[in-house]
Structure 1
Amino acid sequence: MKYLINFSYFVTLFFLFTIKGISQNKTRQDSLRIAEINKTYWNEIARTVKEGDFKGYEVLCNPNAVLVVSIGNNKRSQPMTVALEHWKPGFSNTKNGITKDAVSFRFSQRIGSPTTAHETGIFCFESTNTATQKATKQYIHFEALLLKHGEKWLVEMEYQKSLATEEEWEALK
């Protein structure tokens, strides 16, 4: 009986250390994926919006990507190419100095693998008319599905779920 208890104890410890090792490896893989997505996708989205770089923004979207919006009465699903054409004048206004735009992101959940990611959070879009200095700021709950194509992360689906509050934004720091 004494040996059976020691063996059970050994097996339990073995499994605990194995699970801990797997968990630490997954955490490291998650950290690497998140850092890569931040650098090559989210930071690039922020840069292109700030600079009015429409082409730079466009190449971050899979040509077959979908935009889903469910904000108030504004409910639609459409190809991202349609959304991009709608957003293009805003990029031109920024590029030409008519507006100053910025977007930033905070996340509540980031799930993925080396080649897939589902990101959930809030984005803050700010726009200032340079002539009048009138500024607007919107906080929006969103989800994004990303796939890695070669060395590049592209959005496959963006879901703008609902308006968020500044308090919800601050809670995600």
Structure 2
Amino acid sequence: LGTYLIKITSKELTPRQTADVSKYLHTISDLERISDHSLNIGETAQELYTKKIVFSPTGARELKVMLAAVTRILEITINAFLDNDVAAAYRVEPLEELIDNLCDEMKLHHIDRLQTGECTLNHGFAFNDLLTNCERVSDHCSNIAVAMIELESDSFDTHEYINSVMAMHSHSFDEYYSEYSKE
């Protein structure tokens, strides 16, 4: 797909087509990585099913929250991407940060469950694999949203954007973060 997109750039394109090809070139690897992490999640779920591994009620609840957050960030990202909706792309980073924070909290909670014997080491590997893959999916969603935002403004400095978002915590960022936290 990347090779095909590169070939297209040598053709005469309208400004809209040029923008679309540029967006695809900037996001293709993130889309591929999302599918890789999704497969990893599926494989871990299959392993849990096959080995009849069941998480503690607390761990299962936490995982349900995480999966809902990742589903939400995927929906926002995909819809923003397909609709070329830069305003929606701005909603991704606050949710990505929330997912990062949830992962950190859930890993600590899981360590507590391991120490109290509520969970086993087998649970631990699977739980951490799921959290890590969920976190990586949200990271790639963030990359896609940032690419859309930067391409819209005709500049592409992902690190500068992320750093400015984190430093400013704009009013809308804080509103979205708060909204997602309540969900």
Q: TM-score, normalised by structure 1?
A: 0.29
- Write 1 or 2 for the structure with the bigger share of strand: 1
- Write 1 or 2 for the structure with the bigger share of helix: 2
